[in-house]
Each structure stands twice: as C-alpha cells, then as structure tokens.
Structure 1
Amino acid sequence: MATINDNYITVESEEPSHEIDVTEQPIEDGIDIMDHVRAKAKTMSISGFIVGDDAAQIRQNILNLHQAGSIIEYIGRNYFVGIITSFQSTHNHQVANGLSFSATLKEVRVAKSSYLETLPPFVRAQAAPVIHVGRKQPAQKPKPEEESVFVDAAGKYH
C-alpha cells in the first residue's frame, strides 16, 4: 500500500531513475574528453491499481494534482517529492471495483529569491538614504564671451 498526498493506492512497480548530463569534447587522438557533469532531475515511474468504493474519487484527486502541477509526496517502497508529469489509467473487466494506472513522477527544485526587501542593519548604516526630489531640469552653462584677435589688433592701431 502506498500513498500520494494521503490517497491510498496499490503499487506493483516502482522504477526510480537517476541520470546525469556529461559534456564531451572531441580530440584528435584517443577518446573524447568529458569536462562537465551535471545531475538531471530524478524521475520515478510507478504502476499499480486503485481499488475500492472511492477509486473514482482517488483517481480524480490524483488527476487534479497532476493538472494543477502541485508538488506531491509519494510514500511507498521509495519516498519521492515532486510533480506528476504523466498519468494513464486503464478501465477494463480485469479489475473489479477499480482501475489500473501508471504514472511518472519528476523531482522539482524550488529556487529561493535572492532579493531582500530591507537591507541588514550593518549595510543600512553605510548606505546613503534615497531621496526622491522629482525631475530636475539640467542647468544651462553660461557661454564665455569670445574676443576676436582682429578686434584686439584693430583697437591698437586706432
């Protein structure tokens, strides 16, 4: 017996997957050089049955979580926190009072904002206060009066 956000399901198979990205650079002789390794998001495929009088309601609850992109908590043989990226159900004569399903779960990492609403006290003491004075018109610089060399020369000979 396993649960997805407190919805009881019977799981036959859990298949966790852990992958990485490796960048490769070709060289002239020998094998390619691998210079960077980065982990991908973990995934897990599950399959099983939803049975009982409330099977339709449990299926609808899981579909609502899937369509909303809600972060779920899966507790089974493995523990997993992530989102449901796919959900398929089969309704046939082989499962009485329920349905069979398969789903894929994917790990989600939530980033935190680095923006701070207020500065810490030691930084605030060093920072100048922000003053809002509106728009200012640029001041006009006075043009210096220019005297011509010819005027000076003409004044000397009169």
Structure 2
Amino acid sequence: MAKLGDVYIHVEEENLNSSVNATQYGVESGEPFTDHIEKKPSEMDLTVFILGDNYMGELEKLKGYQRTGKLLKFVGRSAVDNVVILNLNRKYTAQVENGVAVQITLRKIRVADTPWIKMPPKKKPSVKPPTKGGEKKPTQKKERPAPTAFHTVKAGDSYYALAKRYGTTVERLRTLNNYPDRSIPVNAKLRIK
C-alpha cells in the first residue's frame, strides 16, 4: 500500500529514473567534445492499482492533481516530496474486478525562492518653514549616488549566489558586468552596486 497525495494506491512496480544532458560539439576529426553536463529532473514510473468502491473518484482526484500541477508527496517503497504527475494512463483488465490498473509518471520539482526584495517607500522631500524675510521656495536635499562596490570572484561564484549575498538581483549584476553567466573569470572584479 502506498500513498500519492491523499490517494491510497497499491504499487506493483516503482522505477526511478535519473539522467543528464551532455552538450556535444562536432570537431573536424575525432570524437566530438562535451563542455557541459546538465542534470535532468528525477522521474519515477509507477505501475499501480486503484481499488475499492470509489476507485473512479480516486482516479478523478489524481487527474485533477495532474491538470492543476499540484505538488504531491509520494510514499511507497521510496518517499519523494514535491512531485507532479506527468502521465496518467489507465488500463482496464480482466484481472482487476473492482478497480483499475494505472501507469503513472511522476517528476521531482524544485521550487525556486524568489530573489525579489521589497524596497522601503520613498521619503518625501523636506520643506523649510518660511522666515521673516518672506517665503522661501522648498528645497530638496541632494541625494548622493550610492557608492560603488566590487567583489573579487572566487571559484564557484555565480550571479545568483552573489545576488543573494549582496541583496541585489541577477538582472542588475548582468547589466553592471559584461560577463556571460557561465563564464565569469576567477579573480575578476565584479561591480555589485
């Protein structure tokens, strides 16, 4: 017996899949070269049975989770949080009388935190009260530009990590510096502000 979200299922098979993408560039002679490996999200294929008097209601609930992209937790032989249902294929067979056989594909999802920071409200310019010599026009204080700040790049630094560290955004770091995301040279001085 296993559980997907709040639906109880009888699992016959669990197949865990993990894979990567490897970039490939052809060369004039010899083997092509690869300069980047990218991890793909983990997926799980399940062969399950939904049994009982209300098996159609439970199946409709799973289809609703699939349509809305609801994040679910799967607990069976393995336990996985933050999965979505990619595929849901049902098979009616003579071997199952009071239920349905279902093939389900789940994908592990990583939920990203937003780097968005709420800025404090702008201050209104101060106005001096009139003096005996007559009324004076309101004066505004001149705001000094924010001082520039730099960071010396170390191995493993990325725009994302630096944005979190210095309280700015990745887009701002990209506009201040002319380095591509994956080619920031070590010991370079990046402008932060």
The TM-score, its normalising length taken from structure 2, stands at 0.58
Residue in structure 2 matched with residue 101 of structure 1 by the alignment: 102
In 1: Cα distance, 2:103 partner to 2:26 partner:
40
Deviations 1:15-37 (A, max 9, x none): 11101011122223432211101
Structure 1 residue 88, shift from structure 2 partner? 1.2
Residue in structure 2 matched with residue 113 of structure 1 by the alignment: 114
Residue in structure 2 matched with residue 69 of structure 1 by the alignment: 69
In 1: Cα distance, 2:17 partner to 2:47 partner:
15
Matched, 1:26 2:26: yes
In 1: Cα distance, 2:35 partner to 2:123 partner:
47
Residue in structure 2 matched with residue 4 of structure 1 by the alignment: 4
Q: Secondary structure at the match of 2:74?
A: strand
In 2: Cα distance, 1:39 partner to 1:131 partner:
50
Q: What code does the residue aligned with 1:106 have?
A: R
Alignment of 1:1-158 (within 5 A): 1-80=1-80, 81-118=82-119, 129=122
Q: What code does the residue aligned with 1:17 have?
A: N
Deviations 1:72-99 (A, max 9, x none): 1111112223110110112343211111
- Give the % identical residues: 26
Deviations 1:15-68 (A, max 9, x none): 111010111222234322111011011111101211112322211211111111
Unaligned stretches of 5+ in structure 1?
133-158
In 2: Cα distance, 1:42 partner to 1:89 partner:
22
The structure where strand makes up a greater share of residues is 1
Q: What code does the residue aligned with 2:115 have?
A: S
Paired residues, number: 124
In 2: Cα distance, 1:67 partner to 1:97 partner:
25
Q: What code does the residue aligned with 1:21 have?
A: N
In 2: Cα distance, 1:46 partner to 1:61 partner:
17
Q: Secondary structure at the match of 1:25?
A: coil
The TM-score, its normalising length taken from structure 1, stands at 0.70
In 2: Cα distance, 1:15 partner to 1:30 partner:
36
Unaligned stretches of 5+ in structure 2?
126-193
Runs of 4+ in 1 over 4 A off after TM superposition: 129-132
